[in-house]
Amino acid sequence: MNIKNTQTYLKRIQKHFHMIIGKNRQASCCKYSNFCRTVPDHILNLGFPRMAKLYQVAVLASSTLLAHTAMCHGDSGPNTVIAPQMKRELPTRKMSIDSLQRTEYDVLIIGGGAVGAGCALDAATRGLKAALVEAEDFGSGTSSKSSKLLHGGIRDLDHAIKHLDLAAFRRVRSALKERHNIASMAPHLNQPVPIMIPVHHWWQAPIYWLKLHLYHLLAPRGGKGFYFINADASQDIFPMIRRSDLVGSFILHEGQHDDARMCLSVALTAARYGADICNHMKVVELLRNKKNAIVGAKVVDQMTGRVYKVRSKIVINATGPFSDSVRRMEDPTVQPMCMPSWCSHIVLPGFYCPEEVGIFDPNTKDGRTIFFLPWQGHTLMGTTDAPSDVSTVARPTENEVQFLLEDIKNYVSPHFDVRRCDVLAAWGGFKPLPVNSGTLKRTPLQSHIINLSAGNMISIVGGTWTSFRLVAERAVNAAIKYGKLEPMRLYTITQYCKLDGATGWSPNMFIRLVQDFGIEKEVAKHLSDTYGSNAFKIAERANATGKSWPIVGKRLHSEFPYIEAEVRQGVKDYAVTLEDMMARRLRVAFLNVQVAEQLLPQIANIMAEELKWSKEYKNKQIREAKKFLVTQMGKVMPDPTFVSIPVKMSVRQVQKYARHFRNMDEDSTGYVSISKCCKAMKDMGVKEVPVDLMHNVLRDIDSHSQGKVNLYEFLLLMSAVVQGDTAYLRYAKMHMDKKVAAITETRRRVIPVEQTGGGL
């Protein structure tokens, strides 16, 4: 079959698709069955039986599902429900704690992640008295460590077509609808991101076209479509992509958001609707009544150590991967319902991915997905996905970092050096996947379970960022039913709510910040897209810079648009530790751990002023934040294997070059720039530093971070370049490569797509 014939039949398929969702919405399955029989036998017998099957299945599935989808979502008309106004200004943490002591609630939610915050918002907007307690910070677990995508699930659609899995079809359709709802709730936190799907064989193009066309038709109206570009255009857009066997690429649009800020916004909005929310409040015991039913929880304020009893008519356990541990508080013999999966990501410099498009491959050799996404001026890359025992510390390992770096080498040009020092941060989280059971299979989406225990406690297992609102709605419905609650509204209205800061926001709002307050453009855009209409409050509190421009908005660091006023706002938004601030109010810990460590003293001083910390407590917070950067954010500690590489110089030479290093390190940071190294070499008699030689040496010693080296790396550099002896560095590099190969050889079992609950 040649390309021309392929295009002809694709157009015929497209025509029949549009017939279903156009005026003839009542088209029957028989019509599509007849169409399938009109496809010539020479197409169905090309030697690609799977391809033929996909053609038929895609067309047959669309005859029922697409027509239903179009009728359900296409002509729904304007929304007639108007969400109520928020009840109050944001209370302080102390006010919330006081309320926890004296109020008997309708519902108590344990867990402040996406689903838990969603439950609090849903309950509060229905008029229920709701409380939420979180052991750490809002979104501190998996909810702040996602892929940052709001997606419908390309892999789910692929599985649905291949296996005629109706639950997978429902998940895709539901996720696409929820993606639209969430973007409407917080337009300032959500934006479409174009994603490139590479095509490596010509026969993949029609298959991808069918899937993506179906994917687009399942989505609510108004979404952006997809299109195909050839190999040359693909490389123009993504210059580092490996050109070998590349036929072209499809480009589609998914949603992207700041997950930690999104979770916090949901929680803050719930608080403004009347829910009492409190972070760093750990549940240590469940309270029971005389009938042995769960009627609340005993909680400990981890900031003060004080114990409180919070009483409610019903309790919702929304602790994600830790849901079984809360269930065991009620019954130590309970069978597990959660199967945690560990997913890790790395953050790379922006040059690994263009600012305007990402890349996504849903069909890797080992069954995982690979993606490169532009995120806040950097590149987010992932992911590992394997079963794992849940632990209290989400610790990424060097194994996983090297595993992902090896994956990168399969997608970028072989002429591009992928270096360990390019990893600016590494982090991961546990996905709370439900155990594959009969109960799960009886649910419509087969992605989450809402369980009622013998003690009348509701536990939620499963759920993703795309489905959090829907899961929360169903959990609150169950709470109303089994807790015999009397809400003002029996139905949810959260899809019509505007989250805190969304009302009055527009994409060009940042221009007013520039014009009215004299804030530089990059900072204004960041404030607008992070805080929405609340950005004006931060601009009012911003300190003067003392410069002619910008007038206000003193940056914390030149590389990031964060300003000092945001730290003070973060305290108002319940940040009580340095970790809260660095990781989830400002995302700098997720973007660059080196910069985050540099900013710790400066931010600690502002927080100490706001929260009345003593000098001893401030230093304690700095120590704990540094530990967090090492254990959870991938800050690299010295590698003993690498440090054992000898520096081939005499003691006198080492002392001489060490003095030069200290003189260049004027601010005592422990690092000097490569440009200063080059200048130092010229001062030492090297007339011209060979650029290629410098590059090769830096590659071989794997310098500590972009554009700078520490003392040990500087001594290796001097030894290699000044003395002209690079052979031993080659041997050292080979040794390190063998070590990396041994690390990456361990391949963990990948979770099948049908068990991921609609993940990428």
Specify burial of residue 125 (Cβ count, 10 A radius: 0-12, 13-18, 19+): buried
CA dihedral over 33, 228, 373, 181, signed as positive or negative: negative
- The whole-number average pLDDT for the span 20-44 is 38
10 Å Cβ neighbour count for 43? 15
10 Å Cβ neighbour count for 740? 18
- The whole-number average pLDDT for the span 491-498 is 94
CA dihedral over 299, 302, 307, 308, signed as positive or negative: negative
Looking at this protein, which amino acid is placed at residue 266?
V
Give dist(CA 513, CA 496) in Å, integer.
28
| 598-626 pLDDT per residue, tens | 999 999 999 999 999 999 999 999 999 99
CA atoms within 13 A on the CB side of 101: 11
CA 33 to chain centre: 42
Q: What is the pLDDT of residue 693?
A: 66
So where are the chain's domains? 93-146+261-337+435-496, 505-554, 649-724
Task: Please determine, for residue 704, whether its predicted confidence score (pLDDT) is greater than 70.
Answer: no
| 420-455 pLDDT per residue, tens | 888 999 999 999 999 988 889 899 998 999 999 999
Q: What is the pLDDT of residue 402?
A: 85
Q: Which residue has 């209370």 as its token pair?
A: 91
E strand map for 333-404: 338-348, 358-361, 370-375, 378-382, 386-387
Q: What backbone phi and psi angles, to 5 degrees, belong to 650?
A: -75, 165
Give dist(CA 307, CA 282) in Å, integer.
9
Between 533 and 644, whose confidence is greater?
533
- Tell me the CA distances in angstroms from 293 to 309, 322, 677, one per residue in order: 16, 21, 69
Classify 426 as helix, strand or coil: strand
Between 685 and 561, whose confidence is greater?
561
Task: Please determine, for residue 36, whether its predicted confidence score (pLDDT) is greater than 80.
Answer: no
Looking at this protein, which amino acid is placed at residue 189?
L
Residues 6 or more apart whose Cβ sits within 8 Å of residue 499: 185, 186, 189, 265, 266, 268, 269, 532
Looking at this protein, which amino acid is placed at residue 130?
A
| 286-335 pLDDT per residue, tens | 999 999 999 999 999 999 999 999 999 999 999 999 999 999 999 999 99
Give dist(CA 285, CA 307) in Å, integer.
11
Q: What is the pLDDT of residue 409?
A: 83
- 165's torsion region: left (phi>0), alpha (psi -120 to 50) or beta? beta
Task: Please determine, for residue 14, whether its predicted confidence score (pLDDT) is greater than 60.
Answer: no
Joined together, the tokens standing for residue 664 give 């260049």
The predicted model scores a pTM of 0.84
Q: What is the pLDDT of residue 29?
A: 39
Q: What is the DSSP letter of 495?
A: G
On average, the pLDDT of the chain sits at 84
Identify which of 527, 510, 530, 539 has the alpha carbon closest to the alpha carbon of residue 584. Answer: 530
25-39, 545-559, 735-749: segment of lowest average pLDDT: 25-39
Residues 6 or more apart whose Cβ sits within 8 Å of residue 591: 347, 376, 377, 378, 424, 425, 560
Cβ atoms of 351 and 119 within 8 Å: the answer is no
Identify which of 234, 221, 247 has the alpha carbon closest to the alpha carbon of residue 194. Answer: 234
Task: Please determine, for residue 166, whether its predicted confidence score (pLDDT) is greater than 60.
Answer: yes
CA atoms within 13 A on the CB side of 23: 0
Gap between the terminal Cα atoms of the chain: 33
Q: How would you write 199-250 as a 3-class SS string?
A: ECCCCHHHHHHHHHHHHHHHCCCCCCCCEEEEHHHHHHHCCCECCCCCCEEE
Task: Please determine, for residue 248, whether its predicted confidence score (pLDDT) is greater than 50.
Answer: yes
| 364-415 pLDDT per residue, tens | 666 667 899 999 999 999 888 778 787 767 788 888 888 888 888 878 887 7
Task: Please determine, for residue 234, whether its predicted confidence score (pLDDT) is greater than 80.
Answer: yes
Q: What is the pLDDT of residue 723?
A: 65
Helical residues (DSSP H) of 273-383, grouped into ranges: 323-330
Give dist(CA 100, CA 284) in Å, integer.
15
Give dist(CA 698, CA 557) in Å, integer.
26
Cβ atoms of 678 and 395 within 8 Å: the answer is no
Q: What is the pLDDT of residue 412?
A: 82
Spell 610-641 as b/e; 16+ CB within 10 A means b: eeebeeeebeebbeebbebbeebbbbbeeeee
Give dist(CA 525, CA 513) in Å, integer.
9
10 Å Cβ neighbour count for 653? 16
Q: Report the alpha-carbon angle 140-143-149, nearest 5.
A: 140
Task: Tell me which CATH code domain 649-724 carries.
Answer: 1.10.238.10
Provide, rounded to the nearest whole percent, the portion of the chain with pLDDT above 70: 79
- The whole-number average pLDDT for the span 188-194 is 95
The H or E element that residue 70 is part of is none
Task: Please determine, for residue 192, whether its predicted confidence score (pLDDT) is greater than 80.
Answer: yes
Residues 6 or more apart whose Cβ sits within 8 Å of residue 341: 385, 386, 387, 388, 430, 431, 433, 751, 756
Looking at this protein, which amino acid is placed at residue 169?
F
Q: Report the alpha-carbon angle 573-578-582, nearest 5.
A: 75
Q: Taking every pair of C-alpha atoms in the chain, what is the biggest distance, in angstroms? A: 89
Q: What is the DSSP letter of 241?
A: B
Give dist(CA 508, CA 512) in Å, integer.
8
Q: What is the pLDDT of residue 15?
A: 53
Predicted confidence band at 702 (pLDDT cuts at 50, 70, 90)? low
Task: Please determine, for residue 31, whether its predicted confidence score (pLDDT) is greater than 60.
Answer: no
10 Å Cβ neighbour count for 284? 11
Give dist(CA 223, CA 208) in Å, integer.
18
**Can you name the CATH fold of 93-146+261-337+435-496?**
FAD/NAD(P)-binding domain (3.50.50)
Q: What is the pLDDT of residue 28?
A: 37
* 640 preceded by a cis bond (ω within 30 of 0): no
Predicted confidence band at 754 (pLDDT cuts at 50, 70, 90)? low
- Tell me the CA distances in angstroms from 135 to 103, 306, 309, 432, 593, one per residue in order: 20, 14, 15, 17, 24
Identify which of 435, 445, 471, 453 has the alpha carbon closest to the alpha carbon of residue 318. Answer: 471
Give dist(CA 157, CA 159) in Å, integer.
5
Predicted confidence band at 280 (pLDDT cuts at 50, 70, 90)? very high
Residues 6 or more apart whose Cβ sits within 8 Å of residue 605: 618
Classify 531 as helix, strand or coil: helix
Q: Which residue has 């391949």 as its token pair?
A: 747
